[in-house]
Amino acid sequence: MAPNILIIKSDQHNARCLGVNGHTQVHTPHLDALAREGVNFTRAFVQNPICSPSRMCYLSGQYVHNHGVFGLSADCASQPQEPLPSGLPSLISTFKAQGYRTGIIGHIHVRKDWLAPHCDMYRDLHENTEPFDPYFPDNPYSAYLAAKGLLEQRDDEAWRGRVQILDACPSTLSFEDCYEGYCLQSFCEFLRDTPDGQPFLYQIDTIHPHQDYIPVQEFWDLYEGVEFILPPSADEDMSDKPSHHRMTRGWSDNYPAIFSPPDHDQLRQRKLRGYYGCISQVDYMVGQIRQLLEERGLADNTIIVYCADHGDFAWEHGFIEKAPGISYDAILRVPFIWHWPAGSLTPGVVEELVESVDLFPTLCRLSGIAAPDTLDGQDLSPLLHGDIHPLRDFVVAEFPLSRTIRTAEWKLCHRPLGMCQGSEDAGELYHLSEDPWEMHNCYADPHYTAIRESLRRRLFDWLLLTTRYGNTWPPQPPGADGKATLTGLRKMVEEQKLNYL
């Protein structure tokens, strides 16, 4: 019997912030149980440090330089749209063609016209029109809240409809009416309308623990009186880091507190309380979903994958959110938990390097579906069934004008000369086995020149060997089909003022 598939993709979940991964303060009992009963990949990496490109990698199975989406995508006229990946199969379209009932809800953050035609349920809780207003009543979640007289309490994206905040406070909504509660209700509706015996693929894209860091009161209260432990790198010396890192650190150090007490130390404590509270809120939703599947007799043959589009610094390096994230594990390493009782998975921890592009081909293999020839990822099913061996020597993340290559021991972030300030060579090199918190940049140290250049060569070779031109998609070299050129990427960075280089 074909397995059901449920993908729960949270937004901005730092992989360290899970009890099962060794965190001593965050409460994640349901995710911990999912990981202990299933397979917990502890070295899983995304291909990009921001939402849309990373989500495209999961859904297309392609690296960023192949699918071409480097910036943020939204169905909003005020945001620029990158070229639609015409003809590119998605995970959803592939399974829909094989008879699956399909759906997606939440912070989808990729082009609607690529996914929606292949969905039996498509609910983008951030879909919008000009001018940008996440609270407009045609939004399905806003309409739900409005019908209950709660629209002004929507708390997930812009605090009280005014501005996205990086401070934290409790929500005035109940769990039933919060973002995750609405996603849970929609999944119940989807299951109710799915005919008996028809397999389904459903993806829940939660907004949390992305800011606003405003969890439901019960999850805020879960951390009452806790003195949060800051990461070892929270107050590190940034003198050996690139200039834009120092600039962002200065901004983080002076971020204006919205709530009281207003001092920076209390802001740091509140942010962690709100962030961990949002993680616990997502965790609770996972527990409710598992209970729902059990009640409906679907738990045994449903593949559950828990992952995230990227991480959050949670004060690593003194940073407050996810910028500048292209070079740090806090942003690139994410939870990646697989659970399937009927699939004879070998429970345990897998430390091999895996990537987000591996999701698509692995689900195809587990479901007995032929994978499209457009996929760049690798099938992880041997690792899921206990055949533990390296599938790759390194993982790579891409941004418009920077690339990061990471092995088990080393990490190099390459940027072109002059990309930041003047003629600065803003590269980064970290010896991860000796410096797991990435506090000492070895890039300029002559003792590591050979390692730096070896990694740079491997990165260059990877880019050449993985770029698709004529054999599948896209059909023409970059630029000829509307994909962003180098000039276009520079222009996009300037226009969007992205600080993730």
Note down the domain range covering 326: 4-393
Residue 479 lies in a domain: no
Structure tokens at 194: 């799915």
**Three-state DSSP state, 217:** helix
Residue 148 lies in a domain: yes
* Contact (CB, 8 A) for 457 and 394: no
Residue 427 lies in a domain: no
* pLDDT computed for residue 450 by the predictor: 98
Residue 55 lies in a domain: yes
Structure tokens at 155: 């708390």
3-state helix, strand, coil in the chain (%, to 5): 35, 15, 50
Residue 74 lies in a domain: yes
Q: Cβ of 488: how many Cβ atoms within 10 Å?
A: 15
* pLDDT computed for residue 483 by the predictor: 37
Residue 356 lies in a domain: yes
* pLDDT computed for residue 168 by the predictor: 95
Residue 199 lies in a domain: yes
Residue 221 lies in a domain: yes
What's the rounded Cα separation, in Å, for the pair 274 and 223? 9
* pLDDT computed for residue 152 by the predictor: 85
**Three-state DSSP state, 218:** helix
* pLDDT computed for residue 486 by the predictor: 38
* pLDDT computed for residue 473 by the predictor: 42
Alpha-helix runs per DSSP H in 261-318: 264-295
State the CATH number of the domain containing residue 57: 3.40.720.10
Q: Report the chain (501 residues): mean pLDDT per 10 consecutive residues.
A: 97 98 98 98 97 96 93 56 71 98 95 93 76 58 91 76 80 97 98 97 97 96 98 96 93 91 95 98 98 98 98 97 94 98 98 98 98 96 95 96 96 88 85 98 97 98 88 40 39 42 39
The structural domain count of the chain equals 1
3-state SS of 32-89? HHHHHHCEEECCEECCCCCHHHHHHHHHHCCCHHHHCCCCCCCCCCCCCCCCCCCCCC
